[in-house]
């Protein structure tokens, strides 16, 4: 229990009369600073179920998640970023000092201390994965600013991963680099590992319509992707007019045997802007080569 934790610490620390006197002076000074609403630096020491053990003015204290400089809706988020908080300096005021049956200092970190910053669309940021779902991961890039600007949570959808990045390899607490893509219609931050979304907004993929492009094959988790120019998701038409050898079965067999990393050549015939997918026709089975 938290109370037992502090009692044991105090028992170890106060074993001589001079230490008791030293402690009394520190507590007296903290009480004075509390009455004057002085902002004091503190450091995170250890994670508990409802907050953190911290250190302020040389003394152990406790700060609940509710009184941290920013808040999360889930304990798991604090657990994910906790290793990156150890030893970091934040600021607080003394919320309460209890002396009976033992010394217990409670901190309030909701004082004005977070720096303001504007995220730049298309800019690369380092973040910490705080939650993994079946459709992607939630990332907090407050880590990029050493937590001096608070929390910036956004979604990195699995469709926006780099070709070689797998959702199955991601775990809460992992560090990851992302590109900020702005806000969606619900004012939620959207992250990506490529600038594909911005390119679609600037109509760059649409400009490929009518052109012949190289298409990289990416296979992972029993899924196959066709990346036009190694970047834009595509879908190959296998309608009757585009069968290889005039045979649908043979065409599917050829496509299923494509290996990860291979290159084929296709014509871009259209684009589904909403789904961000280029429509492709694979016009030759003889022009693809293995990427070394």
The C-alpha atoms of residue 282 and residue 241 are separated, in whole angstroms, by: 11
Looking at the structure, do residues 89 and 20 belong to the same domain, yes or no?
A: yes
Looking at the structure, do residues 135 and 87 belong to the same domain, yes or no?
A: no
CB 107: neighbour CB atoms within 10 A? 25
Q: How many domains, the chain?
A: 3
More confident residue, 86 or 222: 86
Mean pLDDT within 249-269: 85
Whether residue 89 is predicted with pLDDT greater than 50 in this model: the reply is yes
Share of the chain above pLDDT 70, in %: 86
In a domain, 277, yes or no: yes
* pLDDT of amino acid 288: 42
The C-alpha atoms of residue 285 and residue 283 are separated, in whole angstroms, by: 7
More confident residue, 210 or 197: 210
* pLDDT of amino acid 223: 78
Note the Cα 147 to chain centre separation in Å: 13
Mean pLDDT within 102-112: 94
Confidence grade of residue 197 (pLDDT, cut at 50, 70, 90): confident
* The three-state (H, E, C) secondary structure of the chain, written as one string: CHHHHHHHHHHHHCCCHHHHHHHHHHHHHHHHHHHCCCCEEEEEEEECCCEEEEEECCEEEEEEHHHCCCCCCCHHHHHHHHHHHECCEEEEEEEEEECCCCCEEEEECCCCCCCCCCCCCCCEEEEEEEEEECCEEEEEHHHHHCCCCCCCEEEEEHHHCCCCCCHHHCCCCCEEEEEEEEECCCCCEEEECCCHHHHHHCCCHHHHCCCEEEEEEEEECCEEEEEECCCEEEEECCCHHHCHHHCHHHHHHHHHCCCCCEEEEEEEEEEECCCCEEEEEECCCCCCEECC
Residue with tokens 């903290």: 30
Looking at the structure, do residues 184 and 207 belong to the same domain, yes or no?
A: no
Whether residue 207 is predicted with pLDDT greater than 80 in this model: the reply is yes
Looking at the structure, do residues 39 and 129 belong to the same domain, yes or no?
A: no
Question: What is the maximum alpha-carbon separation in the chain?
Answer: 96
Domain that holds residue 13: 2-108
Looking at the structure, do residues 189 and 229 belong to the same domain, yes or no?
A: no
In a domain, 83, yes or no: yes
Arithmetic mean of pLDDT over the chain: 86
The C-alpha atoms of residue 76 and residue 83 are separated, in whole angstroms, by: 13
Looking at the structure, do residues 133 and 166 belong to the same domain, yes or no?
A: yes
Stated pTM of the model: 0.71
Looking at the structure, do residues 71 and 131 belong to the same domain, yes or no?
A: no
Looking at the structure, do residues 25 and 8 belong to the same domain, yes or no?
A: yes
In a domain, 27, yes or no: yes
161 to 194, 223, 231: CA distances (angstroms): 7, 14, 11
* pLDDT of amino acid 107: 97
* pLDDT of amino acid 291: 35
* pLDDT of amino acid 168: 83
* pLDDT of amino acid 269: 92
Q: Which of 175, 194, 213 is the last residue of a domain?
A: 194
The C-alpha atoms of residue 121 and residue 256 are separated, in whole angstroms, by: 37
| Dihedral angle sign, alpha carbons of residues 198, 204, 210, 214 | negative
Mean pLDDT within 245-266: 80
- Of the ranges 66-70, 138-142, 204-208, which one carries the lowest mean pLDDT score? 204-208
User: What CATH number did the domain enclosing 130 receive?
Assistant: 2.40.50.140
Looking at the structure, do residues 6 and 103 belong to the same domain, yes or no?
A: yes
Whether residue 124 is predicted with pLDDT greater than 80 in this model: the reply is yes
Looking at the structure, do residues 255 and 170 belong to the same domain, yes or no?
A: no
* pLDDT of amino acid 244: 60
Whether residue 279 is predicted with pLDDT greater than 60 in this model: the reply is yes
The C-alpha atoms of residue 199 and residue 212 are separated, in whole angstroms, by: 19
Share of the chain above pLDDT 90, in %: 56
- Show the tokens assigned to 147: 């937590």
């Amino acid at each position: 229990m938290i109370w037992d934790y502090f009692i044991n610490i105090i028992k170890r620390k106060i074993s001589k009369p001079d230490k008791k006197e030293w402690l009394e002076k520190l507590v007296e000074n903290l009480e004075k600073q509390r009455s004057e609403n002085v902002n004091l630096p503190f450091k995170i020491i250890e994670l508990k179920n409802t907050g953190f053990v911290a250190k302020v003015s040389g003394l152990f204290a406790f700060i609940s998640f509710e009184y941290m400089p920013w808040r999360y809706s889930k304990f798991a988020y604090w657990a994910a970023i906790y290793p990156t908080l150890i030893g970091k300096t934040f600021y607080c005021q003394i919320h309460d000092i209890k002396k009976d049956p033992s010394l217990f200092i409670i901190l309030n970190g909701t004082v004005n201390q977070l720096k303001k910053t504007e995220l730049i669309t298309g800019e690369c940021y380092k973040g910490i994965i705080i939650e993994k779902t079946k459709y992607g991961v939630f990332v907090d890039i407050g880590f990029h600013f050493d937590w001096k600007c608070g929390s910036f949570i956004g979604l990195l959808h699995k469709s926006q991963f780099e070709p070689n990045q797998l959702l199955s390899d991601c775990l809460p607490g992992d560090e990851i680099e992302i590109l900020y893509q702005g806000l969606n219609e619900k004012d939620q931050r959207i992250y990506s590992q490529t600038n594909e979304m911005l390119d679609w907004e600037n109509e760059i993929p649409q400009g490929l319509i009518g052109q012949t492009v190289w298409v990289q094959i990416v296979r992972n988790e029993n899924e196959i992707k066709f990346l036009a120019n190694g970047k834009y998701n595509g879908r190959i038409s296998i309608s009757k007019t585009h069968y290889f050898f005039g045979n649908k079965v043979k065409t599917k067999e050829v496509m299923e045997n494509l290996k990860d990393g291979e290159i084929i050549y296709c014509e871009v015939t259209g684009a589904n802007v909403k789904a961000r997918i280029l429509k492709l026709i694979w016009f030759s089975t003889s022009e693809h080569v293995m990427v070394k």
